[in-house]
Chains A and B, each alone.
Chain A
Amino acid sequence: MNISVLQFPGSNCDQDAFQLFASGLGLPTRYVWHKDTRLGEADLVVLPGGFSYGDYLRCGAIARFSPVMGAVREYAGRGGLILGICNGFQILCEAGLLPGALIRNSSLEYRCMTCELAVEDAGPAFNPGTLGARIRLPIGHGEGNFRIDEAGRADLEANRQVILRYLDNPNGSLDGIAGVRSRAGNVFGMMPHPDRAFERFHPSRDGLSVARAVLASRFPDVIRKSA
């Protein structure tokens, strides 16, 4: 089991994401620089939070064209497991690896707080049975307002692609959507930070179960052993 955490210029949650998997779950984890054109052996690729390329133009718009993203796209096409957190989620949407887009919070304010989230039934590994009906994770973003057109919204619901919803919508997201997965089920994206919810001093430790649920959607056995 190898976890690869991508680093873009402006990523600032790369070490948090690294620690979530390395110390939180005890899994072999390494960094991959955005200029690398190969991912090497990876069982999960994590796109961390931050402000890649200064959020210029649109959040994630420029990172999407980083050299490593060619390998990420190819890896996703082979069914490789991917998790995008916050800015990582924005990059995956910009890259077309996840549906929808993230625009300015309806309040126009940067929101930094701990959110209550409803866990949706999004598959055998990611559902209220594996995670609990409600979890708490921190958010910290100015552009987390999830948007998608009517056809896309119907597709998300029909294919159970919504993974998390805010109970008290902090950013104006359509239907309170806080995270989605790809239709094939191998690409996950969320604005809340599981990488800020695993140490004893964090507001919750629900990030561990989220990380396990993402891994278990592809590797049920490995996770059972490490858990």
Chain B
Amino acid sequence: MKIRVFVTPKKNVLDPQGAAVGHALESLGLCGLKDSRVGKVVELNVDGPDTPQFRAQLDKLCRDLLSNPVIEDYHYEIAGH
């Protein structure tokens, strides 16, 4: 199955990268920009069934390694099973 984990800065955490990208977008003519935030996507390809146990393991890995819960949120999409 193919998993895409999205890691984004928490809404209330300053995102200097997102702000810089926002300024650049405005300078290129984007009007009405209210917010821009930069995160990352981690793509995984895992053999095996999508079970509640697997989801629990994936959540733990997202909290422990792929995101830092102090500053980031995550969510994921699972496809191809």
Chain A residues in the interface with B (C-beta under 8 A): 57-58, 61-62, 65, 93-94, 100-101, 103-108, 145, 147-149, 152, 172
Nearest CB in chain A: distance from B71 CB, A? 5
A-B contact count (CB 8 A): 40
Which of A101, A105, A107, A152 counts the most B-chain CB atoms under 10 A from its CB? A101
Pair B17/A101 contact, Cβ less than 8 Å: no
In the complex, which residues 1-60 of chain B have their Cβ closer than 8 Å to any Cβ of chain A?
Answer: 9, 12-17, 20
Q: A104-B16, A106-B16, A172-B16 are in contact. Are A147 and B66 (CB under 8 A)?
A: no
Bound together, the chains give a CA A172 to CA B13 distance in angstroms of 12
**Which residues does chain A contribute within 8 Å of B71, judged by CB atoms?**
101, 103, 147
- How far is B72's CA from A93's CA once the two chains are assembled, in angstroms? 14
CB atoms of B70 and A108 under 8 A apart: no
Tell me whether A147 and B13 are in contact in the complex, defined as CB-CB below 8 angstroms, given that A58-B68, A101-B70, A101-B71 are known contacts: yes
On whether A103 and B66 interact (CB within 8 A), knowing A108-B20, A147-B71, the answer reads no
User: Does B79 sit within 8 A of A, measured CB to CB?
Assistant: no
Q: How far is the CA of A52 from the CA of B12 in the complex (A)?
A: 28
Are B16 and A94 within 8 A (Cβ)? Answer: no
Interface range, B side? 10 to 19
Rounded to whole Å, the gap between the CB of A158 and the closest CB of chain B is: 19
Closest to A59 in B: B68
Question: Is the beta-carbon distance between A149 and B70 smaller than 8 angstroms?
Answer: yes
- Residue from B14, B17, B65 in contact with A147 in the complex, judged by beta carbons closer than 8 Å: B14
B14 near A106: Cβ-Cβ < 8 Å: yes
Within the complex, the shortest CB–CB distance from A191 to chain B, in Å, comes to 16
Q: Which residue of chain B has the shortest Cβ distance to A150 in the bound complex? A: B12
A172 and B66 within 8 A (CB):
no
Complex CA distance for A107 and B70, rounded to whole angstroms: 21
When distances are taken between beta carbons in the complex, the residues of chain B under 8 Å from A108 are: 16-17, 20
* In contact, B65 and A103 (Cβ under 8 angstroms): no
Can you show 16 pairs from A to B with CB atoms below 8 A apart?
A57-B65, A61-B65, A65-B65, A94-B68, A101-B70, A103-B13, A103-B15, A103-B16, A105-B16, A108-B16, A147-B13, A147-B14, A147-B70, A149-B70, A152-B70, A172-B14
Bound together, the chains give a CA A172 to CA B12 distance in angstroms of 15
- Chain B: minimal CB distance from A102 (Å): 9
Contact indicator B16/A100 (Cβ below 8 Å): no
Complex alpha-carbon distance, A103 and B16, angstroms = 9
- A104's partner among B17, B68, B70 (CB-CB below 8 A) is B17
The answer for the CA separation of A148 and B9 in the assembled complex, in Å, is: 13
Closest 6 A-B residue pairs measured CB to CB? A101-B70, A101-B71, A104-B16, A106-B16, A108-B16, A101-B68
